[in-house]
A and B are shown apart, each in its own frame.
Chain A
Amino acid sequence: MKYRSQAVARPYFIAAIGLFLAQIVFGVILGIQYVVGDFLFPEIPFNVARMVHTNTLIVWILMGFMGAAYYLIPEETERELYSPLLAHVMFWVFLAAAALTVAGYLIVPYARLAELTGNDILPTMGREFLEQPTITKVGIVIVALAFLFNIGMTVLKGRKTAVSLVMLIGLLGLALLFLFSFYNPTNLVLDKYYWWWVVHLWVEGVWELILGSMLAFVLIKTTGVDREVVEKWLYVIIAMALITGLVGTGHHYFWIGAPEYWQWWGSIFSALEPLPFFMMTVFAFNMVNQRRRNHPNRAAVLWALGTSVLAFIGAGVWGFLHTLAPVNFYTHGSQITAAHGHMAFFGAYVLINITMISYAMPLLNGREANSMRSQVLEMWSFWLMSVSMVFITLFLTGAGILQVFLQRFTDTPLPFMVVQEKIALFYWLRLISGLVFLGGLVVYITSFFVAARDARQGIAPVAKDAELAPVNP
């Protein structure tokens, strides 16, 4: 850690991992409910568990992004954060808002929560992923504004690098696009149309800028490759991500009542969305191959490479699988979508956050890298989570293909629930994979405690002079 104010990232990272655990626990509950319908009913109905699963995911990823920004921006701008105090205060505001919201979901029925929080004054609730009470949304906007002010002031006063500018643009877009969550037209087509401006333009637009800048930062730090080279890659990748991602929004407009030309636009542009992700893979592996040093934090490099590969497979390949309008005509809203959603979120946004946390946490704790034992645990957790996620994706894809065939493609289509019964085997297998994933996460969390204990016992991190010698001078 080069700047004292970078320390504000620490609580954000810890809270992110805490919420990640909550997300996965609810994921497992959902996995059980898929096959044992009344599991935990009436305490936690499926729709509530799903809401908690998706909302905690979004919140912890945002927490991770904020932590990453607070860590990365001072180092890039070469100055202390504009206001560490503001960052601390906003952390607690954000965490409290998230905790109260989740408690609200779990304690009272959703309709009652809407009443209690005055949803009738400015109705914004009831839409997938944007279920948060209006006051929570207002809270998110306040936190985002304070955060952007803090980061923006730091960037304005400090050194301007491509990494920090791309991240700032991404975060700015994130905040601006969230404002569409307050626009809730009664016309269902319009509602869906703008709903995607938050949902799609986040994950397939501005978040990719944040992802790109975080990956670039970690690669610059761990490989010692010239910043100039990394920045060029970053520019090309984000330009492609924006060209394909912005118009690619059209792949959500196929069947909602938007004009027909979206079927062409959506298909053509989103067919190319894998491109920037593929470039990211080539970029990451190139940088690591051209490395000028062997960074002692090998786990962080593994997470970074894993991000680039699994983001390409999850977001790129599995996205392409069902993005063409004639294909999507059959697969829309099936388990194929769920398969893509899981792998894409994990590969791109979960892994980039863990990459950042894995790189920054040891430094925030005053050491360049954790002990080898702790890193080995981290690597185990990487493989456990990644492989189990690959299986979750494959089982859901299997379920999805069968579902699409039995329910929509065949000449004698079966009703939804009949089909669900028939594909239950895949759901059981997915549940087992989910439990392995939870195990991987527990191993990941354990690695932090092992690292702390090893540090107390003075087991030196692997940073030896020999390790730091240039490998490709």
Chain B
Amino acid sequence: MTATIATHQDRYPPGDLAIWIFILAELAVFAIFFAAYAFARMGDVALFDHYQATLDKDAALLNSLALITGSYCVVRALAAMREDHRAASVRWLIAALGMGTLFLVVKSLEYAHHLAAGVRLSTNTFYMFYLSLTFFHFMHVIMGMVILAAVAWKAHRGGYSAREHTGMETGGVYWHMVDLVWLILFPLVYVMR
């Protein structure tokens, strides 16, 4: 019995192998997007630097903290489930969802500000990348939250245990990817000059 649990927890990579293949594919999309950004920036550094200054770095930093905290919550949720503390696990997942919601609200306020200022996809290449990249990521946050909500619901109904919680690991891994991508996107688009 103990041996079974040990094998389960030691299994590498955690979660379903399919999600890792999916994550690799997703990271490939983002990688190409980031490379395209770098390539386009090379062509007109002045333009990129000028409009980068109009972005709200504080909001983006707040969002980074929200996502990192969200990831921490997911880690705690999983740890709780491994101890069979189901209620605590669900509470941590709800906290993670709260962090996701915070991210979406802050990002939406940013969008509202830029749209009110007349920024559109066609305004210039920098804004095209800013809007496309962050919106593509925004959609991933929503997707990650849908997955976490499904996992939380299943956990709430007793679908996971210390022995078997592959689904929760799978959902957690996806959420970490959403977090990871933002940690590249934030410095690349908001900070690096």
Contact = CB atoms under 8 A, between A and B. Distances in A.
Contacts of A268: 29, 32-33, 36
Interface residues of A, number: 20
A271 interface: yes
Nearest to B35: A268
A197 interface: no
A264 B128 contact: yes
Interface string A261-301: 10011011101100100010000000000000000000000
A445 B36 CA distance: 49
A236 B122 contact: no
A264 B132 contact: yes
Interface in B102-146: 121-122, 128-129, 132
Contact of A232 (B16, B29, B122, B132): B16
Main secondary structure of the interface of A (DSSP, over half): helix
A244 B21 CA distance: 15
Interface in B10-28: 16, 18, 21-22, 25-26, 28
A244 B136 CA distance: 12
B29 A269 contact: yes
Contacts of A235: 18
Interface size class of B (residues with CB under 8 A): 10 to 19
Interface in A227-246: 232-233, 235-236, 239-240, 243-244
Contacts of B33: 268
A402 to B, nearest CB: 30
Contacts of A243: 26, 29
A243 B26 CA distance: 9
Contacts of B36: 264, 267-268
Given A264-B128, A268-B36, A240 B122 contact: no
A260 interface: yes
A42 interface: no
A259 B29 contact: no
Nearest to B32: A268
A268 B129 CA distance: 12
A236 B18 contact: yes
A457 B72 CA distance: 71
A243 B22 CA distance: 11
Contacts of A232: 16, 18
A243 B32 CA distance: 14
A244 B121 CA distance: 20
Contacts of A279: 21, 25
A264 B132 CA distance: 10
A279 B29 CA distance: 15
B32 A271 contact: yes
A261 B122 contact: yes
Nearest to B21: A236
A236 B129 CA distance: 27
A236 B25 CA distance: 9
Contacts of A275: 25, 28
A259 B121 contact: yes
Nearest to A247: B136
B132 A272 contact: no
B29 A236 contact: no
Contacts of B122: 259-261
A265 B22 contact: no
A268 to B, nearest CB: 5
Contact of A265 (B16, B21, B25, B132): B132
Interface string B128-168: 11001000000000000000000000000000000000000
B161 to A, nearest CB: 20
17 contacts: A232-B16, A232-B18, A236-B21, A236-B22, A240-B22, A243-B29, A244-B29, A260-B122, A261-B122, A261-B128, A264-B40, A264-B128, A264-B132, A272-B25, A272-B32, A279-B21, A279-B25
Given A239-B22, A260-B128, A269-B29, 10 more contacts: A232-B16, A232-B18, A240-B22, A244-B29, A259-B122, A261-B122, A264-B36, A271-B32, A272-B28, A272-B29
